[in-house]
Amino acid sequence: MACTMCHGPNLKGTGNIPSIAGRSPSQMARQIIDFQNGSRNGSMAPMMKGVVSKLTIADIVAITGYLASSEP
C-alpha cells in the first residue's frame, strides 16, 4: 500500500516518481538499502526513508521479488 501511494496503483510511476514494476531485484534492494542507510538523500529521500526504515533483509527480498515479477 505504501508503495502505490507514490509509485501509482500499478507501480509504473506517476509524474516524477519512477516506475518500480519489473525492475531488477538486486537494483531495487540496493535502492532500498541506500535509503535506509542515508546514501540516497535526494528530495524524496525523507519520505522513502520512513517507509523502508524498519524493513528486514527478508522483507526486502520479498518486496523486490514481487516488484520483479510485476508487469513493467
In tens, the pLDDT along 9-61 reads 999 999 999 999 999 999 999 999 999 999 999 898 999 999 999 999 999 99
Give me the pLDDT at residue 47, please.
92
3, 72 from 32: Cα distances, Å: 12, 19
**pTM higher than 0.85:** yes
What's the one-letter identity of residue 3?
C
Q: Which of 22, 11, 3 is nearest to 72 (CA)?
A: 22
Domain map (residue ranges) of the chain: 21-72
Residues 6+ apart with CB under 8 A from 68: 22, 23, 24, 25, 28
Quick one: cell of 57? 533483509
Quick one: cell of 20? 518500480
Candidate CATH numbers 3.40.50.10800, 1.10.3720.10, 1.10.3470.10, 1.10.760.10; the one for domain 21-72: 1.10.760.10
